[in-house]
Amino acid sequence: MKTQNPPSKSVAIKTIVIFGATGDLAARMLLPSLYFLDLDGLLPPDLRIMGSARAPMDQASYVNSVHEHLAARPEGLDKVVWKRFSARLDYCRADVTQAHGLKDLAAHIGDDGAMFYLALSPSVYAAACEQLEAAGLTGGQSRIVLEKPLGHDLKSSRDINAKVAHAFEESSVFRVDHYLGKETVQNLIALRFANTLFEPLWNNLAIDHVQITVAETDGVGDRWGYYDEYGALRDMVQNHMLQLLCLVAMEPPADSGADSVRDEKVKVLKSLRAFTAADAQALSVRGQYRGGVVEGKSVPSYSEEKGGESLTETFVALRADIDNWRWAGVPFFLRTGKRLPERRTQIAIQFKALPHSIFGSAAKDDLIANRLVIDLQPNEDISLLLMNRRPGLADVRLKAMPLSLSLDDGGRRRIAYERLFLDVLAGNPALFVRRDEVELAWAWIDGVAEAWRNLSMTPKAYAAGSWGPPGAFALMERSGREWLDD
Ligand code: BG6
């Protein structure tokens, strides 16, 4: 590993270079995030943003293309801010995996601190780091930002991490999981560790199980080239879902520092019970969407979108068990899929049922066990389901009363990448994934994939617009539970 000085918080980043500047991520997320930060006066005045890609383009055409994307957004474009923002933009044609284009880039950047954002396929990360190093761009002033998924399995992620570590100090490496930049995910940390109320209940004495759902209505569409190689397990579970699981399950960290939090997440990943071929059938479900109707529109099957048969899953449901004192006997059910009936990202903490009800038989069916529901999308909300008494003179009847703990101030909802950009600029890695975290997550995912392979578990069909194959319901029923709110 390189032994250069880690960047200090005082290193000012003067240039952000986005490799893959003409791609979808840059257009939909990265440039709008930077624009909104500029709108709020949060970007350093002298910060330049350099788009870089293989396509030949001059600065004016690049600025025009960014304008087109931003102007098409519902928020609209502020003329004054656009003037300031567009003056930051430049374009440099380069293939980051080849030496020649990087010379021009190095000349543009000079000796100042730069952030290199690889909005590219992970298959080129290793070559990109080699070339950045060869071009002298990886000094202590530079930071590298890598998108997920980092590799395809443990081995490939180790190979990439080793190449990255050869070029950059770990403290200069920012592995993005954009879920960590979402406001509600940060609220979850505040909820758990800024209140004394929940901590005594946050364990297997009070909690029955946890459900984490990431449901999308979109299909794979024109991303299938990438997606078909990864599938839902590697695209969503390995990263976003395991990160959410870790934040729910981790022990209170000593402080909110990056390594304190990441050390706790690592302990959770180490405690995940390994999947074996013996129980994979009972504990997991793979699905792939067929044609159907989603939000009132007929949509084609995955293989029609792709133009061929495929054994890639677009849906996963599984039960994860965490073998430690706090969570012994508390299953974590994870479910994610494309072309589900609604867009919903939600963590539900289901508390245990009352040990004994003192209310009469009329109220028996009213009783619902307490539940804390953290909605990340489409609404950002935290609500605690409590039981209350229905007013009236008749027999005692109870009713569920969801208590909203939402902090929605009615302001614009930030793109998760806004927070992440600011943190890279500040050199704060707390909301980024450390190397050991990524590798432990892959080790567990490899176990699931291997069990599926050994059992020849091919994806089961589900109609687009449904909540996945019937096996997803059976998975819950086997444990005497059910998915919430289907
Ligand atoms: C990405 C996945 O990481 O997250 C996509 O590659 C998925 O397949 C997306 O659609 C979901 O992100 P969000 O923020 O829209 O929930």
**Lowest mean pLDDT across 270-274, 309-313, 345-349, 356-360:** 356-360
pLDDT of residue 396: 78
Residue 139 confidence (pLDDT) above 90: no
Residue 219 confidence (pLDDT) above 70: yes
pLDDT of residue 407: 67
Residue located nearest, by CA, to atom 9 of ligand 1 = 236
**Lowest mean pLDDT across 131-135, 411-415, 440-444:** 411-415
pLDDT of residue 8: 44
pLDDT of residue 246: 98
Most ligand 1 atoms within 8 A of CB, residue of 147, 233, 235 to mutate:
235
156-166 residue pLDDT tens: 999 999 999 99
Residue 14 confidence (pLDDT) above 90: yes
371-387 residue pLDDT tens: 999 999 898 889 999 99
What mean pLDDT is predicted for residues 2-28? 76
Pick 315 or 306 by higher pLDDT. 315
170: alpha, beta or left? (left if phi > 0; alpha if psi -120 to 50): alpha
Most ligand 1 atoms within 8 A of CB, residue of 240, 302, 314, 346 to mutate:
240
353: alpha, beta or left? (left if phi > 0; alpha if psi -120 to 50): beta
240 is catalytic: yes
pLDDT of residue 2: 44
pTM (2 decimals)? 0.94
Q: Nearest to residue 327, comparing CAs of 406, 260, 270?
A: 270
144 Cα: distance to centroid of ligand 1 (angstroms): 21
Query: Treating both helix axes as pointing N-terminal to C-terminal, what angle do 435-454 and 242-249 enclose, rounded to 10 degrees?
Result: 120
Tell me the pairing of strands 207-215 and 344-351. Answer: antiparallel
Percent of the chain with pLDDT over 70: 97
Per-residue pLDDT band at 223 (split at 50, 70, 90): confident
Across all residues in the chain, what is the average pLDDT?
A: 92
CA torsion, ordered 358, 361, 362, 363, to nearest 10 deg: 40
Q: Nearest to residue 6, comparing CAs of 125, 123, 144?
A: 144
95-124 residue pLDDT tens: 999 888 788 888 888 778 899 999 998 889
pLDDT of residue 364: 81
236 Cα: distance to centroid of ligand 1 (angstroms): 7
Q: Nearest to residue 311, comparing CAs of 461, 454, 450?
A: 461
CA separation, residue 128 to residues 22, 58, 109, 170, 454 (Å):
17, 23, 17, 16, 35
Residues contacting residue 55 through CB under 8 Å, at least 6 positions apart: 22, 93
437 Cα: distance to centroid of ligand 1 (angstroms): 19
CB-ligand 1 contact for 345 (6 Å cutoff): yes
**Could you give the residue ranges of the DSSP H alpha helices within 168-276?**
183-193, 224-232, 242-249, 258-271
| Sign of CA pseudo-dihedral 156, 432, 109, 21 | positive
CA 459 centroid distance within chain: 23
* Catalytic residue (choose from 152, 178, 209, 240): 240
Percent of the chain with pLDDT over 90: 79
Residue 75 confidence (pLDDT) above 80: yes
